């Protein structure tokens, strides 16, 4: 289970776009803690710390103990915004943790023991993953770091469904029959890749031919203009 992480913050008195811009100019990220039957609390958190946490992975499945001026609040990130160009964090929304409540989170799926899967190791099959995360409804202090799928003994043609694996805690929000992955013959994905590469090559060839035709037409037009000028 993910450990609770401390997070230093500063309480904010002002909110709004102007106040948020001022916070960012100071090297911080504006954030809000909401939920739990209490009024929203506006805070600011360090930009470098926030960026590190987000890009390290698992940010939205981690419970933080946020210390804003000595007032500590346990909360989990619900959403965050990044600058579309620079990727710098612009805003974070936190949800207060209340005793007895559950939260809905996306937990990553990890696959292990590929070497022990005959369909992959011996037959050259490929693991085709359809779900990289599973959405769970779980108590905040029971959020798994990951859901592990053991591939030992898996053969080509085997399909792995949610019902085939053990979920450490919480309840999966989808159906037990939902597919997580399957092992396909090496020629299946190979044929798809070859078809895609052929389509790309054909498109590039067509585009090149069109460009060449346009260039020849422009050259021809210029030649006709020059002949006309010479006659004059």
Residue 189 pLDDT > 60, yes or no?
no
Instruction: Supply the DSSP string of the chain, one letter for each residue.
Output: -PPPEEEEEEE-S--SHHHHHHHHHTTEEEEEEEETTEEEEEEEEEHHHHHHHHHTS-GGG--EEEEETTEEEEEEEEEEEE-TTT--EEEEEEEE--TT--EEEEEEEEEE-GGG-HHHHTT--EEEES-SEEEEEE-GGG--S-EEEE-TT--TT-EEEGGGS--SSSEESS-TT-EEEEEE-HHHHHHHHHHHHHHHHHHHHHHHHHHHHHHHHHHHHHHHHHHHHHH-
Q: Write out pLDDT tens, residues 48-89.
A: 999 999 998 889 989 999 999 888 999 999 999 999 999 999
pLDDT at residue 220 is higher than 70: no
**Average pLDDT over the chain, rounded to an integer:** 85
State yes or no: pLDDT of 230 exceeds 60.
no
Which is the CATH superfamily of the domain at 103-184? Answer: Ribosomal protein L25, C-terminal domain (2.170.120.20)
For the stretch 96-121, pLDDT in tens is 988 888 889 999 999 999 989 888 88
Tokens 């203009």, located at residue: 225
Look up the CATH number of domain 5-96: 2.40.240.10
Low-confidence winner among 9-13, 123-127, 133-137, 204-208 (lowest mean pLDDT): 204-208
Domain extents for the chain?
Answer: 5-96, 103-184, 186-232
> What is the distance between the alpha carbons of residues 11 and 32, in angstroms, rounded to a whole number?
10
**Burial call 17-27: b when 16+ CB within 10 Å, e when fewer:** eeebeebbeee
**pTM of the prediction?**
0.67
- Return the higher-pLDDT residue of 209 and 36: 36
């Amino acid at each position: 289970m993910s450990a609770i992480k401390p997070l230093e913050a500063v309480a904010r008195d002002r909110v709004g776009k102007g106040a948020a811009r001022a916070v960012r100019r100071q090297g911080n990220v504006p954030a809000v803690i909401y939920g739990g039957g209490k009024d929203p609390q506006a805070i600011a958190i360090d930009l470098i710390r926030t960026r590190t946490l987000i890009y390290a992975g698992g940010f939205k499945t981690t419970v933080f103990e946020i210390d804003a001026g000595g007032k500590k609040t346990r909360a989990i990130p619900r959403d965050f915004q990044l600058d579309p160009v620079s990727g710098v964090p612009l805003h974070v929304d936190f949800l207060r943790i209340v005793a007895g409540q559950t939260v809905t989170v996306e937990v990553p799926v990890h696959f292990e023991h590929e070497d022990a899967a005959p369909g992959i190791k011996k037959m050259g099959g490929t693991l085709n993953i359809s779900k990289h995360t599973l959405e769970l409804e779980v108590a905040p202090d029971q959020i798994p770091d990951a859901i592990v799928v053991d591939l030992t003994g898996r053969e080509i043609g085997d399909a792995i469904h949610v019902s085939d694996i053990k979920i450490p805690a919480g309840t999966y929000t989808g159906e037990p029959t939902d597919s997580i992955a399957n092992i396909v013959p090496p020629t299946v994905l190979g044929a798809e890749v070859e078809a895609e590469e052929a389509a790309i090559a054909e498109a590039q060839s067509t585009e090149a031919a069109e460009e060449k035709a346009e260039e020849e037409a422009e050259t021809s037009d210029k030649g006709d203009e020059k002949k006309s000028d010479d006659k004059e």
